[in-house]
Structure 1
Amino acid sequence: MENRLEVTFEGDHILVRADGDKDFLYLERLWRDVAAACKKYNCFNVLGIANTTTPVEAVEGYETPALFQQFGIAQHYRIAWVENNDDARDMIEFISAVLANRGLPGRLFDTESEARQWLLGSD
């Protein structure tokens, strides 16, 4: 699968499509682009839909809070994330736990519908 990162404004949320192999540089680009779009559109609801072929290493995932701090991602953000590849889900669960332990936003969902419901209050 080709690496893809698309960050678009959808009116009431920022939509992130993040497919392919992931590494620290990919994460850095992803969260930089998300933060820039959120600031540009003054919209801090983020829906991420991913199909990861190769997840980041644990040490890279552990650095995600530093990226959030670097790009100003804090409590005013609501981040709902869906990982469609079950083989990559464990790493996203780890990152979600790291963020939660530091009081940072981000929840992992099984389906896009569940994520949208939590993020926006409707399907």
Structure 2
Amino acid sequence: MSEVLLTKCDYWVRVEYGGDNTFPALVGLFDKLSHFCEAHRCYSVLGLSRSTAPLSSSMAFKIDGIFRHFKIDERYHFAWVEYRESSMGSIRYAAEYLKGKGVCCEVFTDERCAGVWLKQQLQS
């Protein structure tokens, strides 16, 4: 079971995600997120995640397909905060893989640092 809370803030969409990193959960997350971003015409995303289990290596590769399916592309900027330390390695791996596909993203352990980075991306 996962929970997704989406809020439009001044500069970005804030995503609060809690739950597992299974294929159905991530499809649900990015389906909701892509529709929310389109509705608000805002493609900068500050994600706050409390994963209940690490992202598997196979799921890291599947995220690219999920992004393509929901048309999450170079318009988007992701600053993703993962609070569960044991999930950081696989989340960072997924971010590096997505960067190689042209997605602007960075992973953080601190919301303030993520916000600073995201604002810098918006100014450049």
Please give the TM-score of this superposition, normalised by the length of structure 1.
0.90
User: Where does structure 1 lack aligned partners over 5 or more consecutive residues?
Assistant: none
Shift of 1:42: 0.6
Match of 1:118 in 2: 117
| C-alpha distance in 2 between matches for 1:91 and 1:6 | 23
| C-alpha distance in 2 between matches for 1:79 and 1:89 | 15
Aligned-pair identity (%) = 25
Root mean square deviation, CA, Å: 1.4
Shift of 1:45: 0.8
Shift of 1:94: 1.0
| C-alpha distance in 1 between matches for 2:86 and 2:73 | 28
4+ long deviations beyond 2 Å: none
1:86-97 alignment runs, 5 A limit: 86-97=85-96
Contact 1:18 1:51 in 2 (8 A): yes
| C-alpha distance in 2 between matches for 1:49 and 1:12 | 15
Q: Which moved more, 1:95-104 or 1:5-14?
A: 5-14
| C-alpha distance in 1 between matches for 2:14 and 2:42 | 11
Contact 2:78 2:118 in 1 (8 A): yes
- Tell whether 2:39 aligns with 1:40: yes
AA at the equivalent of 2:13: I
AA at the equivalent of 1:83: E
Shift of 1:48: 0.2
Please give the TM-score of this superposition, normalised by the length of structure 2.
0.89
SS at the partner of 2:104?
A: coil
Shift of 1:55: 2.2
User: Where does structure 2 lack aligned partners over 5 or more consecutive residues?
Assistant: none
Contact 1:68 1:74 in 2 (8 A): yes
| C-alpha distance in 1 between matches for 2:72 and 2:2 | 24
AA at the equivalent of 2:72: I
Match of 1:6 in 2: 5
